[in-house]
Amino acid sequence: MKLLVTGGAGFIGSAVVRLAMRRGHEVVNLDALTYAACLENVAEVSDNPRYAFEHADIRDRLALDRIFETHQPDAVMHLAAESHVDRSIDGPGDFIETNITGTYNMLEASRSYWTSRGRFSEFHFNRRSLRFTGRNGHVYRGHAL
Ligand SMILES: NC(=O)c1ccc[n+]([C@@H]2O[C@H](COP(=O)([O-])OP(=O)(O)OC[C@H]3O[C@@H](n4cnc5c(N)ncnc54)[C@H](O)[C@@H]3O)[C@@H](O)[C@H]2O)c1
């Protein structure tokens, strides 16, 4: 399977990229390389012919359409986000543009890609919620699209 992973240079995305590669999938890693990115986390797969990196921003719809057209993925894991909540107090604009508009762009680009191939019935949207307990016993909750 060919996976398009957004935010694949981030904390969770890079782990997804490494795991998917280990399991024999093809992976396209789409990331804008913000302050939160660390390409070293995917260094072990960067030379693999099953891996491609696209330096792109999910706020750029035209870039997304090009990437879908070029790589023709079978599935998308959308993990690109402004995730450092403390930063939203000083600069909420980036959060709105990436997490809301960027996610909308990803959904629209995905829908357009699958619809244009007459495969709209294969377009499924899953949202995952995460819950885990920290060492201090505190329960954390989060969401990933
Ligand atoms: N880390 C956690 O424990 C946790 C827990 C629950 C949910 N989540 C969710 O999982 C997702 C990923 O979290 P993370 O911890 O890996 O985040 P992260 O901040 O480590 O990584 C985010 C990645 O997205 C990229 N990015 C940011 N804006 C972008 C844009 N406009 N276009 C393209 N790429 C962009 C960054 O460069 C970075 O590589 C987020 O939605 C987060 O809320 C994370």
Q: Quick one: tokens of 29?
A: 């890693």
- pLDDT at position 117 is 83
Q: Is the CB of 34 under 6 A from ligand 1?
A: yes
Backbone phi and psi for residue 45, each to the nearest 5 degrees, phi listed first: -110, -5
Domains annotated on the chain, with CATH: 2-144 (3.40.50.720)
Rounded Cα–Cα distance for residues 72 and 70 (Å): 6
Angle between helices 61-71 and 103-116 (to 10 degrees): 40
Q: Kindly list the averaged pLDDT for each block of 10 residues, start to end, along the chain of length 145.
A: 98 98 98 97 98 98 98 97 91 95 97 86 67 59 48
Q: Is the CB of 73 under 6 A from ligand 1?
A: no
Closest ligand 1 atom, residue 13 Cα: 16
